[in-house]
Chain A
Amino acid sequence: MSNITLRVYRGNSSGGQMVSYEVPKAPGMVVLDAIHYIQKNLDTTLACRWNCKAAKCGSCSAEIDGKPRLMCKTSVEDYPEGVITVGPVRAFPILKDLVTDVSWNFRIASKIPPLQVREEAAGKPFVLQQVDVDRVQEFRKCIECFLCQDVCHVIREHNRKDAFFGPRQMVRIAGLEMHPMDDLNRREQLRAEAGVGMCNITKCCTEVCPEHIHITDNAIIPMKERVVDDYFDPVSGLLRTLGVLPKRTKKPFKSVPNEQTVIVGNTTLAAK
């Protein structure tokens, strides 16, 4: 069987270059198989992340011919010229080869309180119809591959990690905000530190999501509307006071004690 050529980024924070490897093609081969072939047979120092090899864990994110994708879900057949370029995702600092420091995502995630169950439902089995949870289940399919974070220009080009949690966390918050049993006013966080306003609906995130989550249409846009509704729309505000629209009764965001979780970083000190 014929060979394919893999051009793989080799390097670290101080620089690197593309290195070419010849890999024998096998039926049904995915890019991750080719990377594993290199590790086992050509260069045991090539670094990459993977776990499930079945598009379920979101570990093997990379940029393949410049496009953010899962290596385990990308067939080498999709590149008929037989030359495939594989590099690390670029929105996060590189550690080595295909491995980047994605710990920011986990730090941000720890600022989002989990489900705060409404008092009347606490400690009892939920009674919820499937139609009431369909939307939330869509958001919960997220495998945290962070490909959407990688492609979002707010993070990638403008590096506004200080002002925007990114599409992944928008999906996370949407799953809580739209959970029928949640009792926390998540809109305060969305508007303030999560920065939902930073998104200008380019939909690039939706395009790359391997779980086909409609990040912009189903999560971000409705949340933007809710936030606007709450804070800037005097008409709905009035209708609410008059009881025409239902009153928002969720608990204030501050009501959740902020327990400190620390994602202890890899040391960046040089090893001897």
Chain B
Amino acid sequence: MENYDVYEYDVLIIGSGGAGLRAAIAAREAGCKVGVVCKSLLGKAHTVMAEGGVAAALANMTNPDGSKEADSWKVHFVDTMKGGAFLNNWRIVEIFAKEAPQRVLELEQYGAVFDRTPEGLIAERPFGGHKYRRLNHVGDRTGLEIIRTLQDKAVGVGINVHMEVTCTRLLKNADRVVGVLGYYRESGRYIVLKAKAVVLATGGWGRMFKYTSNSWEGTGDGLMMAYEAGAELLDMEMIQFHPTGMVWPPGMRGILVTEGVRGEGGVLRNKKGERFMFNPDYMPPLYKGQFADTEEEGARWLEDKQNNRRPPELLPRDVVARAIYREVEAGNGSEHGGVYLDVTHRGAEYIKRKLPSMYEQFHAMGGVDITKEPMEVYPTIHYTMGGIRVEPESCATTVPGLFAAGEVAAGLHGANRLGGNSLSDIIVFGKRAGEAAAAFAASAKQGEIDDTQIEEEQNYLMSPLLSASGENPYTIHQELQENMQKNAMIARTEAGLLEALEKIQELQKRAEHLHVDGDRFFNPGWHAARDIRFMLKTSEVIVRCALERKESRGAQWRLDYREMDNADWGKKNLIASKQEDRVQITAVPLQEMPEELKKLFEEVK
């Protein structure tokens, strides 16, 4: 076994996105010694890329008649449950909807500077699936504002930050998690971070698909470390296809076009120029009658939200993504195989003020002036609703000493996430996880580190460098991406999923014999060799769960089971866990919602 550096903390946070940083602040404020570890530099996590806004029912917006929009946590609760096709954990949603406004206002106290309404309050914009204007925003760079605010606050309260360290294995003592092993990306040396309690805030996993809005970080490490440590995973089949990713040029394929474009009035058209979202075939029964029937009403809504219904471009993401998919399949696609998203009618000045980074992104990198021409868009892999199963109040996983918050955790979004709900998720549950971890740490001792676990992982990490020959991890990654894109994307079938599974298993075998050149100094090839194994296992779990759920619900759209099966599948979640070397999948019944919450669905109509 090779030597390693050791650091000890009361609470260790893995991940420095919004969830990790908010947890760090909470644990520090509870008096703990806190360490934060992340794969990139501070402030570069996915959170920085979020654009449209953070959803919280502040009810700041005014109707034309001078009254305030009737938003409240109750409406946010109902919208989120409906958006998630009722697979969500109602208790998690309840906590979320109630606490999101406080957490957003707290960001303002920490230094975030949101856009303002004419009355000087935080401005809120409309978004898909949200009944009222609810996305608190800063132009289209809300994530940057949030991560920078939390980063500045966190370093202000006094923490240790380990940047550019990749963690690869949680260390256990009997049942409990007592630390983690990682390597410095720069030098390749090993580091062990010991802690009384660990919070996983490692974000989502999109990199196993070909077209994704995710960065290189989204390889599922945190998820798989937890799985290996015995944690239960929930709803893993539920992966969000954001309806609008860039299509052209090829290097930009998959990069996100914020839903804020549609929130600000952008419309979708096919190559015939039709506003295809008005096609009644695309309207889910659950939302019938709640959206504009005509383009005229949709246009009037921009100015008067009180007396008009919103255009159907603002249906939940799964609905819009499917419609785009079907348009393109039907031969109505644009030049490069997408559809058109047009916001030119809002005028250049307005667009540049409200969507500056979209303007810049298309102008500098796509060669398109969005104030003058439409964008081409197609669904892109964006977000993972599934993840680690957690307790609603404490974010505790099923493994003692291990907590999880943010995109890596599951339960809030059910079968489909509403835009903006993630940024509020990470601040609400980041705080809760930090507090619960601090409480756990207060009554726990530092655990013993077992060197055999370290040695095992070191051997695993070293094998691609020591092998004389073997496959290039990038080749396997590329084949995995093609496979997932083809067989586990928006439209799923049993045959396709089985093909996907078979291919994954083949790739897993091949990934046992990797070879990479060079040494351990900042060597992307070596890093990729570990990442690919996390990605393969994650893909396996996704595909197995997708096979199991024999219905269409939210993001899971089965061409061979087109109906939503409320009597059976609508009543259960799928849980994946590790049994020996097998992925065990179990269906567990959803908890019955209490009467007072059920009543909200009548009340809120």
Contact = CB atoms under 8 A, between A and B. Distances in A.
Interface string A74-104: 0100000000000000000001110100110
A94 to B, nearest CB: 11
Nearest to A26: B250
Contacts of A123: 109
Contacts of B524: 39, 44-48
A113 B525 CA distance: 39
B459 interface: no
B587 interface: no
A263 B159 CA distance: 8
A-side interface size class: 35 or more
Interface residues of B, number: 85
Central interface residue in A28, A113, A122, by most chain B CB within 10 Å:
A28
Contacts of A39: 474, 524-525
Contacts of A41: 474
B365 A30 contact: yes
Interface in B108-161: 108-111, 113, 115-116, 119-122, 138-139, 141, 143-145, 148-149, 152-161
Nearest to B45: A51
A199 interface: no
A143 interface: yes
A51 B186 contact: no
A57 B44 contact: yes
Interface string A10-40: 0010000000000000111110010000011
Contacts of A142: 148
Contacts of B160: 261-262, 264
B183 to A, nearest CB: 9
A75 B365 CA distance: 7
Nearest to B524: A39
Given A114-B156, A259-B158, A130 B115 contact: yes
Contacts, number: 223
B365 A106 contact: no
B255 A29 contact: no
B380 interface: no
A117 B107 CA distance: 12
A interface SS class: loop
Contacts of A40: 474, 478
A54 B161 contact: no
A114 B48 contact: no
B42 interface: yes
Interface in A244-259: 259
Interface stretch (A132-140, A157-165, A218-226, A231-239): A132-140
Nearest to B518: A45
Given A27-B250, A123-B109, A269 B189 contact: yes
B187 interface: yes
B144 A141 contact: yes
Given A59-B44, A262-B161, A271-B188, A115 B109 contact: yes
Nearest to A127: B120
Interface of B: 2, 5, 7, 40-46, 48-49, 58, 105, 108-111, 113, 115-116, 119-122, 138-139, 141, 143-145, 148-149, 152-164, 184-189, 191, 215-217, 248-252, 255-256, 357, 360-361, 364-367, 472-474, 478, 516-525, 528
7 contacts: A51-B44, A73-B365, A110-B155, A133-B113, A144-B148, A259-B157, A267-B191
